[in-house]
Amino acid sequence: MSRLFYLKKHGICCVSILLLLTSGACQQKETLPILGRRTVSEQGDTVYHSIGNYQLVDQDSSEVTPETFEGKIYVADFFFTSCPTICPTMKTQMLRIYQRFQDKSDFAILSHTIDPKHDTVAVLRDYAERIGLENGSQWHFVTGDQGEIYRLGQSDYMVTAGADSDAPGGFIHSGAFLLVDKNKHIRGVYDGTVSDDVDKLMKDIDVLFAEE
Q: Global pTM? A: 0.82
As beta bridge partners, residue 173 has 161
Vertex 95 angle, CA 66 and 158, to 5°: 45
Share of the chain above pLDDT 90, in %: 65
* 28 φψ region: left (φ > 0), alpha (ψ -120 to 50), beta (else): beta
Selected residue with higher pLDDT from 193 and 7: 193
Could you tell me which residues come within 8 angstroms of residue 197 by beta carbon, excluding any fewer than 6 positions away? 177, 190, 191
Give per-residue pLDDT as tens, 92-143.
Answer: 999 999 999 999 999 999 999 999 999 999 999 999 999 888 776 899 999 9
Q: Using 50, 70 and 90 to split pLDDT, how confident is the model at 167?
A: low
How far apart CA 212 and CA 148 sit, in angstroms, is 30
Closest CA to 51 of 76, 27, 21: 76
Q: How far is CA 79 from CA 65, 110, 170, 171, in A?
A: 19, 11, 12, 9
**Domains, in order of start, for the chain:** 53-211 (3.40.30.10)
51 touches 156 (CB < 8 A): yes
* Least confident window among 29-38, 82-91, 168-177: 168-177
